[in-house]
């Protein structure tokens, strides 16, 4: 590769915090800038700059993503009490991911990166399982109460004309207890469905969806119906011509089938199911550092990132001048995902090919036995060697340059 690859449209680049911010710069310097005439619109989402801009930079970066269609994001600190004095914060700013997701109305898809030598805890999962979590409503936006003995609890809906509909939840005659009100919206469920159908078409994988509609005949059934109606009206033909399938089943049947499967599909989950199952699936594949994440809006806007956080403990070592062996693979795949998508949208096949090669070089490096400490502990390869953060990226570059 002598001449640098040209880009037509900029990527939205969202820089971040701590160890991942260090890795971010290394990835660009070692693996991207030597090969690509990189065009980005840069937003510094590091906590210092978020605080300086009263978090406006996060909103601006999400708006830019809407404009350009593709973003790549570094992990960022979601401040807690300990971060207030550490960064001298004006406010405990909200999670940038939450802000961006709300603006893009997107769904998060998490996919493990599979390499030889690291066997999932479920060894028959030879292909990745991508989990899509609906990130709105249900128990995460609930209203709940403890109620005293003798209470009569009802669910009441007042429509716009003031008409009330009441249903009994429970008469707490002999005992005190608890109640909970949940909601979701047709709009949010429809967006979730479209993001899932689009991502399935994009990655040419089957889409599975499951709820408990036999028990929840109105609530969960509504999810099932919305998915089905949108599928029939907008996606059935496209799925058939791409040879992929939309498959609905009950959540407990889905869990059983997932365990017996070889992977290679997208599993759309309601909010709580996705919360629980994404942690189970991520753990089974071995390492959070090998999990990529992409936020997809119903209009087909993409924001790529790693699923892990800023790896704070490694950063403090780095600040003390100690050597780190932090895994950069998920962050690197966020870059390749974004560059590939940019290339597809702009019809620049060189960029797509570069992203493919960079991913292959990364996987080859690990399969050659060169890896960071987290993978070193998991790998069954005999000739494995633990390297530091920077040397791993240099080892990838040796292979990339030879391709």
Site residues for ligand NAP per CB under 6 A: 75-78, 97, 288-289, 305, 308-313, 326-327, 374
Nearer to ligand NAP, 190 or 312 (CB): 312
Residue 195 interacts with which of Mg ion, ligand NAP, none, CB < 5 to 8 Å by class:
none
Rule CB under 5 A: say whether 275 interacts with Mg ion: yes
Nearer to Mg ion, 147 or 280 (CB): 280
Nearer to ligand NAP, 70 or 210 (CB): 70
CB of 354 to ligand NAP, least distance (A): 23
Binding-site size for Mg ion (CB under 5 A) equals 2
CB of 208 to Mg ion, least distance (A): 19
Q: Among 142, 214, 155, 133, which Cα is nearest to 183's?
A: 142
CB of 75 to ligand NAP, least distance (A): 4
Distance (Å, whole) CA 151 – CA 251: 33
Rule CB under 5 A: say whether 344 interacts with Mg ion: no
Question: Coil, strand, or helix at residue 28?
Answer: helix
Q: 65: number of CA atoms within 13 Å, CB side? A: 34
Residue 216 interacts with which of Mg ion, ligand NAP, none, CB < 5 to 8 Å by class:
none
Nearer to Mg ion, 202 or 275 (CB): 275
Phi, psi of 314 (to 5 degrees): -65, -35
Burial profile 177-205: b = 16 or more Cβ within 10 angstroms, e = fewer:
eebeebebeeebbebbbbbbbbbbbbbeb
Residue 166 interacts with which of Mg ion, ligand NAP, none, CB < 5 to 8 Å by class:
none
**Do 251 and 134 touch, CB atoms closer than 8 A?**
no
CB of 20 to ligand NAP, least distance (A): 7
Q: Which of residues 177-236 bind Mg ion (CB under 5 A)?
A: none
Rule CB under 5 A: say whether 86 interacts with Mg ion: no
Distance (Å, whole) CA 200 – CA 247: 12
**Which residue, judged by CB position, is nearest to ligand NAP in the bound state?**
309
Nearer to ligand NAP, 238 or 384 (CB): 384
CB of 327 to ligand NAP, least distance (A): 3
Q: Provide the β-strand partners of residue 40.
A: 11
Nearer to ligand NAP, 15 or 305 (CB): 305
Helices 18-27 + 389-401 axis angle, to 10: 20
Residue 279 interacts with which of ligand NAP, Mg ion, none, CB < 5 to 8 Å by class:
Mg ion
Instruction: Please give the full DSSP string across 194-242, using - where no structure is assigned.
Output: HHHHHHHHHHT-EEEEEE-TTTSTTHHHHHHHHHHHHIIIIIHHHHHHT
The piece of 169-177, 208-216, 275-283, 366-374 that touches Mg ion (CB under 5 A) is: 275-283
Rule CB under 5 A: say whether 283 interacts with Mg ion: no
Residue 275 interacts with which of ligand NAP, Mg ion, none, CB < 5 to 8 Å by class:
Mg ion
CB of 398 to ligand NAP, least distance (A): 21
| Cα torsion angle, 354, 358, 364, 365, sign | positive
The piece of 64-72, 223-231, 268-276, 360-368 that touches Mg ion (CB under 5 A) is: 268-276
Residue 289 interacts with which of ligand NAP, Mg ion, none, CB < 5 to 8 Å by class:
ligand NAP
Residue 191 interacts with which of Mg ion, ligand NAP, none, CB < 5 to 8 Å by class:
none
Residue 400 interacts with which of Mg ion, ligand NAP, none, CB < 5 to 8 Å by class:
none
Question: Coil, strand, or helix at residue 7?
Answer: coil
Phi, psi of 184 (to 5 degrees): -145, 175
Task: In the chain, count H helices and then E strands.
Answer: 15, 18
First to last CA, the chain: 9
CB of 77 to ligand NAP, least distance (A): 4
Distance (Å, whole) CA 38 – CA 254: 43
Rule CB under 5 A: say whether 279 interacts with Mg ion: yes
CB of 212 to ligand NAP, least distance (A): 29
* Inter-CA distances, 360 with 10, 34, 160, 363, Å: 24, 17, 57, 5
Q: What's the DSSP call for residue 30?
A: I
Please give the residue ranges that form the binding site for Mg ion (CB under 5 A).
275, 279
């Amino acid at each position: 590769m002598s001449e640098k690859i040209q880009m037509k449209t900029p990527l939205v680049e969202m820089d971040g915090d701590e160890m991942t911010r260090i890795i971010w710069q290394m990835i660009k310097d070692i693996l991207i800038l030597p090969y690509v005439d990189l065009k980005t619109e840069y937003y510094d989402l590091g906590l210092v700059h978020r605080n300086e801009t009263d978090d406006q930079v996060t909103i601006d970066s999400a708006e830019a993503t809407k404009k350009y269609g593709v973003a790549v994001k570094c992990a960022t600190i979601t401040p807690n009490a300990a971060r207030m004095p550490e960064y001298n914060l004006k406010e405990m700013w909200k999670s940038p991911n939450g802000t961006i997701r709300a603006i893009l109305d997107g769904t998060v898809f998490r996919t493990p990166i599979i390499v030889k030598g690291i066997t999932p805890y479920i060894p028959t999962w030879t292909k990745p399982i991508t989990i899509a979590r609906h990130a709105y409503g249900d128990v995460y936006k609930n209203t709940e109460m403890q109620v005293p003995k003798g209470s009569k609890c009802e669910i009441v809906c007042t429509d716009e004309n003031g008409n009330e509909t009441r249903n009994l939840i429970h008469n707490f005659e002999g005992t005190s207890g608890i109640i909970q009100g949940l909601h979701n919206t047709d709009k949010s469920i429809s967006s979730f469905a479209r993001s899932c159908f689009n991502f399935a078409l994009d990655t040419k994988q089957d889409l599975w969806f499951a709820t408990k509609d036999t028990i929840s005949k109105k609530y969960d059934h509504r999810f099932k119906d919305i998915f089905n109606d949108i599928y029939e009206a907008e996606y059935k033909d496209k799925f058939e011509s791409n040879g992929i399938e939309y498959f609905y089943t009950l959540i407990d049947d889905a869990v059983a089938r997932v365990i017996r499967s070889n992977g290679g599909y997208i599993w759309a989950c309601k909010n709580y199911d996705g919360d629980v199952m994404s942690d189970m699936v991520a753990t089974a594949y071995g390492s959070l550092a090998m999990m990529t994440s992409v936020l997809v809006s119903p209009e087909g806007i993409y924001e790529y990132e790693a699923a892990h956080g800023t790896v704070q403990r490694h950063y403090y070592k780095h600040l003390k001048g100690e050597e780190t062996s932090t895994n950069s693979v998920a962050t690197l795949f966020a870059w390749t995902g974004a560059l590939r998508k940019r290339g597809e949208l702009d019809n620049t096949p060189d960029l797509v090919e570069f992203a493919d090669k960079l991913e292959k070089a990364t996987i080859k490096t690990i399969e050659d036995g060169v890896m960071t400490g987290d993978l070193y502990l998991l790998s069954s390869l005999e000739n494995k060697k633990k390297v530091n953060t920077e040397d791993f990226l240099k080892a990838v570059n040796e292979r990339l340059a030879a391709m």
